[in-house]
């Protein structure tokens, strides 16, 4: 590698660009860096971001990025943020590639459904001793936003480059429900798999009469397995001790059998996926494995959590995080609803089990805006927790529209209202449309109040798929891009509020490359 020449100042850089025949809208100066005698900087020309590489023509020809070279002294290569160039970026600047966050206690998933939010997330996260999962999308989200895992990771990687965030970030294939979905996410380069067991659970087992449980257990469970399971779980007192008291669990034979019937397909599936991950990674800890049961019809009692972990551990499956369904309501984009003290107690019990069975993290899904419980979560988990948010960053984008483009915002509210019935089939929400303020009755300056009112907040949250596929899509993205710095400021402030209330320590913002 040759010694890089002095990095140009912002003014020098702009002057340099003036000689070239393209429309420079913006240079992302934070991204400016040098490597092998070339300067790399992210810029915006027209509606697109591009990578600009500056240096001698000879060196530009050798450089692996694919792009158009403009001859001059120095010369310039202008590159699209294409899939090929994303691979080059990860190769040349390894901090742009997703990594396992196994060794970091506090992690936050900040799903970016638009591919535009990550710089705002970075500006918040880099103030804390937390590590981020910037690329975090489920197959459902990808379907609604018409993206795929590769594109989601590429958007995060280029944002990480733009902001020169070198601390490492994760990419989560979220809520994966089949081996094919897991393969797809692994092929795209995720560093985290969240396996959703909800479709593999036999909920019927919970309401079966005793004889049916006995019969189904005999029919469905291999006698050898049955013996092992009963041996592992029966006639034992599982006792956990911690700073706030003790938890003691005993399983009756009926409880064991019901749990086996509930979980046995899910456990086989978890083992299968775990083995696939181990095979792909050569048993190195490159992929963080999370299991989620948060989208099931009932809260996960600590007994069920314990049962699942005993059996998974017996199968040799190691997880980095578990997402139970906690008591109370975790509705999208609004604060926790329920008894905070009851949540506190149950969260403590879940934490005791997690600490004992591999010291994995509890993962809080639908974690956007659950401000009233964050201080409890942070305190009880001792700062070791994974929080997943996504919808709240979408809502901040909608807030930006309310602030900058009133008539577009009103149009979006009308679209959301007409899509609400359809959208609400897919979510558990208690939105009362009669309480949604009529945007036409509000002054333009007060439109963003709709983002502070729970009913309109939920309305605009759950209809995101409809809004992104409505005729206002183009104007929505154009406005966001025009005011991207304002969008990032809103996000910075909002995600910072999450991390503050969780009690994550500040600091650790400097990149060490």
Q: Phi first, then psi: what are they for 194, rounded to 5°? A: -110, 110
**Residue 399 in the binding site for Zn ion (CB under 5 A):** no
Letters for 279-298 (x = contact with Zn ion by CB under 5 A, - = none) are: ---------------x----
CB of residue 278 to Zn ion, shortest distance in Å: 24
Q: What is the CA radius of gyration of the chain?
A: 25
Cβ closer to Zn ion: 164 or 292?
A: 292
Residue 337: CB partners within 8 Å, gap ≥ 6? 328, 329, 331
CB of residue 318 to Zn ion, shortest distance in Å: 21
Cβ closer to Zn ion: 294 or 454?
A: 294
Q: Is the peptide bond before 133 cis (omega within 30 degrees of 0)?
A: no
Structure tokens at 7: 């990095």
> Which residue, 62, 97, 72, 93, is CA-closest to 19?
72
Euclidean distance between CA atoms 102 and 286, whole angstroms:
9
Residues within window 6-25 making contact with Zn ion, judged by CB under 5 A? none
CB of residue 141 to Zn ion, shortest distance in Å: 11
Cβ closer to Zn ion: 172 or 294?
A: 294
Q: Among the options 141, 163, 290, 411, which is catalytic?
A: 290
**Residue at shortest CB range from Zn ion:** 365
Cβ closer to Zn ion: 101 or 364?
A: 364
Euclidean distance between CA atoms 49 and 37, whole angstroms:
23
Contact 451, 490 (CB under 8 A): no
CB of residue 174 to Zn ion, shortest distance in Å: 7
Q: How many residues bind Zn ion (CB under 5 A)?
A: 2
CB of residue 244 to Zn ion, shortest distance in Å: 27
Euclidean distance between CA atoms 216 and 74, whole angstroms:
76
Q: How many residues does the chain have?
A: 513
Cα torsion 164, 169, 174, 176: sign: positive
CB of residue 138 to Zn ion, shortest distance in Å: 8
CB of residue 294 to Zn ion, shortest distance in Å: 4
Helices (H), 234-323: 253-281, 302-314
Residues within window 142-201 making contact with Zn ion, judged by CB under 5 A? none
Cβ closer to Zn ion: 109 or 132?
A: 109
DSSP 29-57: EEEEEEETTEEEEEEEETTEEEEEEEE-H
Partners of 106 in the β-ladder? 385
Cβ closer to Zn ion: 54 or 502?
A: 502
CB of residue 265 to Zn ion, shortest distance in Å: 20
Stretch of 155-163, 254-262, 363-371, 391-399 contacting Zn ion, by CB under 5 A: 363-371
Cβ closer to Zn ion: 264 or 365?
A: 365
**Residue 365 in the binding site for Zn ion (CB under 5 A):** yes
Residue 55: CB partners within 8 Å, gap ≥ 6? 37, 38, 39, 63, 74, 75
Q: Phi first, then psi: what are they for 100, rounded to 5°? A: -65, 140
Q: Phi first, then psi: what are they for 8, rounded to 5°? A: -70, 155
Give the torsion through C-alpha atoms of 201, 205, 207, 210, to 10 deg. -170
Cβ closer to Zn ion: 10 or 203?
A: 203
Letters for 236-275 (x = contact with Zn ion by CB under 5 A, - = none) are: ----------------------------------------
Residues within window 410-429 making contact with Zn ion, judged by CB under 5 A? none
Reduce the secondary structure of 406-419 to three states and give it as a string.
HHHHHHHHHHHHHH
Residues within window 448-487 making contact with Zn ion, judged by CB under 5 A? none
- Angle 134-139-143 from CA coordinates, rounded to 5°: 105
CB of residue 406 to Zn ion, shortest distance in Å: 34
Tokens 């993962």 label which residue?
Answer: 363
385: left (phi over 0), alpha (psi -120 to 50) or beta: beta
Is 95 in a helix, a strand, or coil? helix
**Residue 141 in the binding site for Zn ion (CB under 5 A):** no
Stretch of 32-40, 70-78, 361-369, 477-485 contacting Zn ion, by CB under 5 A: 361-369
Cβ closer to Zn ion: 104 or 326?
A: 326
Residue 290 among the catalytic residues = yes
Q: Among the options 63, 151, 155, 174, which is catalytic?
A: 174
Residue 1: CB partners within 8 Å, gap ≥ 6? 35, 36
Q: Note the residues at the interface with Zn ion (CB under 5 A).
A: 294, 365
Residues labelled catalytic: 174, 290
């Amino acid at each position: 590698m040759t010694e890089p020449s002095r990095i140009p100042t912002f003014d020098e850089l702009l002057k340099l660009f003036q000689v070239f025949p393209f429309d420079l809208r913006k240079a992302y100066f934070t991204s400016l860096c040098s490597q092998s005698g070339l300067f790399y900087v992210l810029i915006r020309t027209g509606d697109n971001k591009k990578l600009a590489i500056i240096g001698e023509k000879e060196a530009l020809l050798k450089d692996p990025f694919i792009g158009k070279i403009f001859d001059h002294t120095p010369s310039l290569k202008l590159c699209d943020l294409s899939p090929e160039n994303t691979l080059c970026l990860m190769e040349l600047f390894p901090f742009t590639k997703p990594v396992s966050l196994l060794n970091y206690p506090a992690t936050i998933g900040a799903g970016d459904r638009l591919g535009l939010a990550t710089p705002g997330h970075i500006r918040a996260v880099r103030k804390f001793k937390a590590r981020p999962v910037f690329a975090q999308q489920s197959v459902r989200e990808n379907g609604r936003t018409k993206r795929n895992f590769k594109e989601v990771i590429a958007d995060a990687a280029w944002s990480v480059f733009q902001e020169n965030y070198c601390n490492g970030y994760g990419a989560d294939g979220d809520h994966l429900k089949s081996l094919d979905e897991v393969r797809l996410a692994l092929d795209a380069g995720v560093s985290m798999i969240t396996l959703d067991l909800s479709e593999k659970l036999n909920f019927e087992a919970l309401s079966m009469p005793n004889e049916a449980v006995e019969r189904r257990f005999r029919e469905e469970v291999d006698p050898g397995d049955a013996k092992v399971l009963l041996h592992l779980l029966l006639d034992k007192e599982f006792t956990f001790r911690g700073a706030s008291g003790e938890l003691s669990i005993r399983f009756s034979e009926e409880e064991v059998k019901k749990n086996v019937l509930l979980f046995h397909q899910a456990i086989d599936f978890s083992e299968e996926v775990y083995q696939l991950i181990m095979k792909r990674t050569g048993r190195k800890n490159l992929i963080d494995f999370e299991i989620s049961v948060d989208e099931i019809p009932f809260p996960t009692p600590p007994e069920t959590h314990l049962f699942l972990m005993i059996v998974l551990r017996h199968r040799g499956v190691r997880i980095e995080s578990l997402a139970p369904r906690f008591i109370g309501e975790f509705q999208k984009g609004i604060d926790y609803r329920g008894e905070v003290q009851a949540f506190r107690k149950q969260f403590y019990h879940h934490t005791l089990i997690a600490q004992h069975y591999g010291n994995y993290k509890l993962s809080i899904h639908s974690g956007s805006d659950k401000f009233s419980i964050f201080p409890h979560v942070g305190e009880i988990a001792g700062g070791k927790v994974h929080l997943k948010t996504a919808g709240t960053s979408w809502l901040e984008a909608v807030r930006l529209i309310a602030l900058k483009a009133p008539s577009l915002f009103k149009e979006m509210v009308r679209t959301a209202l007409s899509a609400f019935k359809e959208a609400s089939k897919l979510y558990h929400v208690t939105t009362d449309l009669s309480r949604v303020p009529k945007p036409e009755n509000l002054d333009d300056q007060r439109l963003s109040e709709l983002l502070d009112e729970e009913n309109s907040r939920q309305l605009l949250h759950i209809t995101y798929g409809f809004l992104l596929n409505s005729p206002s899509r183009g104007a929505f993205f154009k406005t966001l891009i025009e005011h991207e710095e304002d969008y990032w400021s809103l996000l910075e402030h909002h995600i910072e509020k999450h991390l503050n209330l969780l009690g994550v320590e500040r600091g650790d913002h400097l990149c060490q490359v």
